Structure 1
């Protein structure tokens, strides 16, 4: 029998994230496409990100028929083909949430995503996500990548979102030290 879950953050009631939510107004909309195996992960930063940002949406799946939702959007994803950062924010920023292997599969399965202009950093900042070990410097958590991109696109301070992230990292560290 599964443990009861919070209806808002979907975490077990004992690890509910709702107290960490810090509301943030974002100019650029955010679409988070989450791999199904990430949805109930304790280390899931995507749900916290979605709960904090006023203009955000989280969809779970591997394949997405999102032509209308992707109009005017850019994809935040490292690698070849990165476009210069625009002077004006796009209508929507799209991020993929999953392991790197899963996100590559999601990209491969969705031609509409592959067709989007792609943003990435030439020299990404170091990750503060201490829960999983990144294999490459540009491998940030979903929350880190989206927050950094939105800060750059919107020219806005996302301090409350970073506070939510730090709260999650502290909570996960305490849990890890207890176990």
Structure 2
């Protein structure tokens, strides 16, 4: 497999992480067993973003699916949400009503006692892109939302946050899994691997 550099030449790319071999991130893949299913819906503009963490997350979670799109046909999205109790990893946000987004059904904390029956749905994109994905997909609006609790500051030093509590897709998903499965230690290696990924990207920035 290869990628076009934009100058007509082609350079080899990794078949696993899909990045150019010189910037391959496979060394940071940290497979972690997990009880929940994880469905990652990735905005198309994030696919080739070198700073994105969703691909690393997907490769590290054996029970995850990664689907690319902005608007998903209900006939295609509905089967992905059926079979388990789907929960959207997304904060309750002011202004939903003004956009015509109905209030989501409540999240029952007792569901965490049956983690294996849950499917965690994650939107991968900037705040504006993920907001648009929610707006364009009524099926996502109908899902209860998971509120994250007591998360540490983000380690995502390679991307500007628009709010102090904003996290990368990988971090937010890991903290959600820690919370729902009540096991921080098991998912910590993935956070540690993320730190290595961030350090690698920072080196590219400082040497560019």
Fold match, TM over 0.5?
yes
The residue that corresponds to 2:112 in the other structure is: 87
- Give me the TM-score of the superposition, normalised by structure 2: 0.80
Q: State the secondary structure of the residue aligned to 2:160.
A: coil
Superposed CA offset, 1:128-165 (max 9, x none): 11111211133210000000000111122202211210
Shift of 1:170: 1.0
The residue that corresponds to 1:164 in the other structure is: 193
Unpaired segments ≥5 residues, structure 1: none
The answer to whether the 8 A contact 2:156-2:167 is kept is yes
Shift of 1:21: 0.7
The answer to whether the 8 A contact 2:112-2:181 is kept is no
Q: State the secondary structure of the residue aligned to 1:83.
A: coil
Unpaired segments ≥5 residues, structure 2: 6-10, 94-103
The answer to whether the 8 A contact 1:5-1:13 is kept is yes
In terms of Rg, which structure is larger?
A: 2
The residue that corresponds to 1:99 in the other structure is: 126
Distance, in Å, in 2 between the alignment partners of 1:135 and 1:18 is 29
Q: How many equivalent residue pairs?
A: 179
